[in-house]
Structure 1
Amino acid sequence: MPQRPGTPPTSSEEALALVRSRYAEPKLPDGTPVPLAVHEFDIGYLVHPVFPQVSRIDAAGNPLPAPPGGAKIIVSKATGESVTVPNLPTESAIALYREQNG
């Protein structure tokens, strides 16, 4: 059943549908859609793309850091509002959301 506009999500599936309706779908360079994961927590849902692990090494064989950028989306359980947070580890992104949204 489609979610009515302005209705807060009551499940991970509804939060994911809400994010898909509001944001562009991430894609790999070949155009393949990137799967989205949902992490439910007490006051919201954290939604983020799950990019395949790519081994990045320099000419000497040393690992390179992940490219910068990207974001995660948090959907409020209370209001259905969504906000972006930096692409931090899950618990850090949730802590930042709590700090910024009381």
Structure 2
Amino acid sequence: MTDSDRPAGTPGLPPTPPPYRPQLGPDPLPTDEAEALVIGRQHFPEVGSPGGPSELYVHEFDIGYLIHAGWPAPEDPTARPADPGGTNIVISKIDGKVADVPNFPPEDAVELYRESYARDGV
């Protein structure tokens, strides 16, 4: 349907939006750590924001990129964490899909992702 074929809409109302076009094909595939970081930033609070991470790190491995946050040091290192837990993300080099993994050390998070990826039969 071209613009000239689409009805103009009802007078006094906003114009009729274009037809919905679903995304075709895989999610964007990052080609390097910088591109993975751009995708990863969408899944974390803004770096430096109140309560947000102080930095984001990228750990590249054979089938993906692990993105994990660095958090500012607590004022009282002996106090319990205000918000324990959290997640890291992995961006697949194969299909670009983003998966959550627990906030484990990078090697453990990557191993857990590999096990999950193999279990899903891909």
For structure 2, list consecutive stretches of 5 or more residues without a partner in the other structure.
1-25
State the partner residue of 1:10: 31
The change in CA–CA distance for 1:68 and 1:33 in structure 2 (over 3 A counts) is: closer
One-letter amino acid matched to 1:34 = S
Contact 2:65 2:90 in 1 (8 A): yes
Tell me, in whole angstroms, the C-alpha distance in 1 between the residues paired with 2:113 and 2:53: 26
Which structure's relative contact order is higher, taking Cα pairs within 8 Å and 6+ residues apart? Answer: 1
**Matched residue, 1:51:** 71
After superposition, the C-alpha distances for 1:37-79 in whole angstroms (9 at most, x for unaligned) are 1010111000011112335226xxxxx6795211100000111
**Separation in 2 of the partners of 1:71 and 1:17?**
17
For the Cα contact (< 8 Å) 1:9–1:77, is it kept in 2? yes
1:20 aligns with 2:20: no
> 75, 87, 92: which is aligned to 2:91?
75
Give the superposition deviation at 1:20: 2.1
Q: 1:28: how far off?
A: 6.2
CA distance in 2, matches of 1:66, 1:6: 34
CA distance in 1, matches of 2:59, 2:112: 15
The two structures, once aligned, show a CA RMSD in angstroms of 2.6
2 CA distance for matches of 1:28 and 1:13? 19
| 1:84 aligned residue | 100
How many aligned residue pairs are there?
Answer: 92
Please list every run of at least 4 consecutive aligned residues from structure 1 whose deviation after the TM superposition is greater than 2 angstroms: 26-34, 52-55, 64-68
Q: Percent identity?
A: 43
1:39 aligns with 2:59: yes
Could you say which structure has the larger radius of gyration? 2
